[in-house]
Amino acid sequence: GAVVSQHPSRVICKSGTSVKIECRSLDFQATTMFWYRQFPKQSLMLMATSNEGSKATYEQGVEKDKFLINHASLTLSTLTVTSAHPEDSSFYICSALLKGNRGPNQPQHFGDGTRLSIL
Amino acid sequence: AQSVSQHNHHVILSEAASLELGCNYSYGGTVNLFWYVQYPGQHLQLLLKYFSGDPLVKGIKGFEAEFIKSKFSFNLRKPSVQWSDTAEYFCAVNAAGGATNKLIFGTGTLLAVQP
């Protein structure tokens, strides 16, 4: 149980285009989802917290107009990288919390990640 | 600010060898501690976690970790590794008692077990 699916797993596109990444909880409802970014040989860095039906909370230094997050339902959050440039190339990972699970000791369930390459 | 350090970036062991991966964190308050594992081509999975109580925590697949508060450490151990333990291991921390599930991750340790 608690499967999180990310799509696409890999995307290559030209500079200036916008890319949408989907994060779905397949067998549970997720009130809260998280978006992380990972550069090679670096740790996962939290970009934003996505809450169903409300605006996402972005971490310091993350441009909200650049990385648009929509959490329109209890099973889907999307991250759109707008006007992507080569420096946005990275590995993007989402995670989800089971609905009703609050508090810092609740485990996050992770997707497989999306490898984004901007040419 | 919270931070997590994993000193071993790449570890190579033979099967049956013992494993210890270091994890140190920096935070002034009470923390929850986690170890996640990412097998090749798979997503991050929770290996074990510490919230309170016995500082020696046992997780899945024979792994354990010991929380040493005085050293701000949460090292991961396994007495005898297998080839199937080849994976990347991430230590993570968040603030206990807080309202958020925000995790701070270490940079990860890539473990390669040779048969």
> What does the pLDDT read at residue A101?
64
Separation of alpha carbons B29 and A117, rounded Å = 39
Buried b vs exposed e over B38-49: b needs ≥16 C-beta within 10 Å? beeeebbebbbb
Out of B34, B90, B107, name the one closest to residue A41 (CB): B107
Kindly calculate the radius of gyration of chain B based on its CA atoms and give it in whole angstroms: 14
Mean pLDDT of A8-33: 93
Q: How far is CA B37 from the centre of its chain?
A: 8
- CB-CB under 8 Å, A107 with B102: no
> What does the pLDDT read at residue A30?
87
Out of B45, B96, B108, name the one closest to residue A104 (CB): B96
Among candidates A94, A98, A90, which has minimal Cα distance to A113? A94
Burial-class residue A66 by CB neighbours within 10 Å (0-12, 13-18, 19+). middle
Residues of chain B with pLDDT under 50: none
> Which residues of chain A have a CB within 8 Å of the CB of B49?
105, 107
Give tens-digit pLDDT for A42-62.
888 999 998 888 889 999 999
Distance from CA of B8 to the nearest CA of A (A): 12
- CB-CB under 8 Å, B94 with A104: yes
> What does the pLDDT read at residue B77?
98
Give tens-digit pLDDT for A70-113.
998 999 999 999 999 999 999 999 999 887 766 666 788 999 99
Separation of alpha carbons A39 and B58, rounded Å = 30
Contact B10/A at CB under 8 A: no
> What does the pLDDT read at residue A104?
63
> What does the pLDDT read at residue B98?
61
Out of A43, A95, A111, name the one closest to residue B108 (CB): A43
Separation of alpha carbons A79 and B31, rounded Å = 29
